[in-house]
Amino acid sequence: MSMMRRLNEPSRRPNETPDISYSSASDVPEPAPPVQAQQAAAAYAGTVNKIIMPPKLANLRKQLRARVLRTPDEADTWHRGEADKEALIAERLRQIIEKLASEKPEFRLNQAEMTLLREAILDDVLGFGAIQPLVADRTVSEIMVNGPQHIWKEQKGLITESEYTYDDEDHILWTAQRIIRPMGRQLNREHPMVDARLPDGSRVHIVTLPSALNGTTITIRKFPEKRLTVEDLINFGSFTRETAEFLKACVVSRMNVVVSGGTGSGKTTLLNVLSGYIPDEERIITIEDSAELQLNQRHVVRLETAPPVPGGDGKTGALTVRDLVRGSLRMRPERIIIGECRGGEALDMLSAMNTGHDGSMTTVHANNPRDSVARLETLVLMSGMDLPLITVRKQIVSAIDLIVQIARLRDGSRKITQVSEIQGMEGENVILQDIFIYRLPGSNSSSPASVGGGKLESTGFRPKFIEKLEENGFRLSGRIFGAGQSTFVKSSL
Ligand SMILES: Nc1ncnc2c1ncn2[C@@H]1O[C@H](COP(=O)(O)OP(=O)(O)OP(=O)(O)O)[C@@H](O)[C@H]1O
Ligand SMILES: [Mg+2]
């Protein structure tokens, strides 16, 4: 008897009896196949066999998950895997079931059902409900719940649909509340969207009804146990050793660098790697919306935005990236690293870069270096200062030396596709010069390739700021800038 349903089968409405086992209490249930066996059978010919909780057990799970707790928040700081807590909850569940079964025969469960229910309730009460196995799986980097029946995951750069399902909207909300309650946050009609960070550093975004039309949507970017290193990225083929050498020279020589890329393209990871080149004795201030950077230097001040205090006017207690950037200028920073420029802080960052805080870095969301200049212009104009566009453009050109473009290609690999110098202005136009560009073999195109199998080549142009690199002891030879001489690195990830 299968406990799974195929994705392409008609979806069931909440009160319909699905075409799976245990459809009524009078069935004589067969033992359930082990959960791992269900998972192993799940991926089939491009479709996904969904693991769906038998309705009898789903119903019990729904009724009992609150009843195994003394208070709704009793288990907020307990975790899956804590043996004493698991034993405590399992024992309470056993007692409740025993009592129910003595009153009503339909509550009698066989051993397999009891095991399935216990694990499910432990996942709900101590973990993340249906997505607990994905949360526990270290190879999964992102989890996207698009409503009860559709849960997606990213693994090794590839996004696929997973076999797990929530029982219903209530079930997702249970997990959502469990995530945000310990942080003193609320998810309800007044606060239908929450951005938060889990204690382990993972980033969570939750949006619920009425805006989330598929049902409550949870997106978790898991905090990597260890940020990828420069060696990892070179081995993955994200860039070449020559490019790494060049970028190191730029960072040490205090060039102002912007990492540009789309969502999930690897901007933060690259910013982390570049920040790793900052010499140990320099005072670094990092400013992030949710702290993701992991710097190993000793003289680091980490700042993170603060949400407003609950129940206030929506402003009290809040600190934005912009507030923190302004504040940081009074903290004797030698380097300011802003996790992402998304608003008016762009203006403050440019001012800082133009007033002696060289060697600062940030990321922006843009699809190519030219767009990232345009994006910065827009962000500065959003700052509320009434500045003429040309003034803003001049500020950008004088502040930023280098734009490093990263992209997630269709094969799931992440690559630096362009390293471009901002050289200056010609009339009202910004002059950008590619130093490295990602091309397919044999291509001479001036735009980077968007598929795997290419390599990051030097264009043959040396940056205008090369003298500054030389002053800092970096004698980068023709080996790095000579066109076509960069080593080909196998494209693996
Ligand atoms: N060069 C790379 N090769 C393989 N995986 C990578 C690479 N860079 C980043 N990743 C992985 O991709 C995921 C997204 O990376 P990251 O958080 O750096 O992206 P991002 O562009 O900052 O995303 P967002 O737009 O959401 O801020 C992470 O799981 C990370 O480990
Ligand atoms: Mg990021």
Ligand 1 close to Cβ of residue 4 (< 6 A)? no
Per-residue pLDDT tens for 428-481? 999 999 999 999 998 888 899 999 899 999 999 999 999 999 999 999 877 888
* Residue with CA nearest ligand 1 atom 12: 266
CA distance 270 to 409: 16
Residue 463 burial by Cβ neighbours in a 10 Å radius (0-12, 13-18, 19+): buried
Residue nearest (by alpha carbon) to ligand 1 atom 24? 264
Contact 306, 319 (CB under 8 A): yes
Whether CATH 3.30.450.90 fits 129-224: yes
At residue 36, the pLDDT reads 39
Q: Which backbone phi and psi does 370 adopt, to 5 degrees?
A: -65, -45
Block residue for tokens 């264009």: 459
Give the pTM.
0.81
Take residue 412 and report the two structure tokens written for it. 């799931």
Q: Which of 269, 338, 341, 365 to mutate to test the pocket of ligand 1 (most atoms within 8 A of CB)?
A: 269
Compute the distance from residue 269 Cα to the ligand 1 centre, in Å. 6
| Dihedral angle of Cα 232, 237, 242, 248, to the nearest 10 degrees | -40
Mean pLDDT of 112-132: 97
Q: Which residues 6+ apart lie within 8 Å of 239 measured at CB?
A: 233, 415, 416, 436, 456, 489
pLDDT at 28: 31
First and final C-alpha spacing in the chain: 39
Give the contacts of 194 (CB within 8 A, at least 6 positions apart). Answer: 180, 185, 186, 187, 204, 205, 206, 207
Burial zone of 429 (CB within 10 Å; 0-12 exposed, 13-18 middle, 19+ buried): exposed
* Peptide bond just before 210 cis, omega within 30 deg: yes
Q: What is the pLDDT of residue 445?
A: 85
Superfamily (CATH) of domain 230-481: P-loop containing nucleotide triphosphate hydrolases (3.40.50.300)
- Report CA torsion sign: 60, 63, 65, 70: negative
Selection from 250, 185, 205, 183 nearest residue 468 by Cα: 250
Q: Where are the domains of the chain?
A: 1-127, 129-224, 230-481
**334 pLDDT band (50/70/90 cuts)?**
very high
Instruction: Give the model confidence (pLDDT) of 132-152 as tens digits.
Output: 999 999 999 999 999 999 999
- Give the span between the Cα atoms of 487 and 243, in whole angstroms: 10
Question: What's the gap in Å between 293 CA and the centre of ligand 1?
Answer: 12
Ion ligand 2, residue ranges at CB < 5 A: 267-268
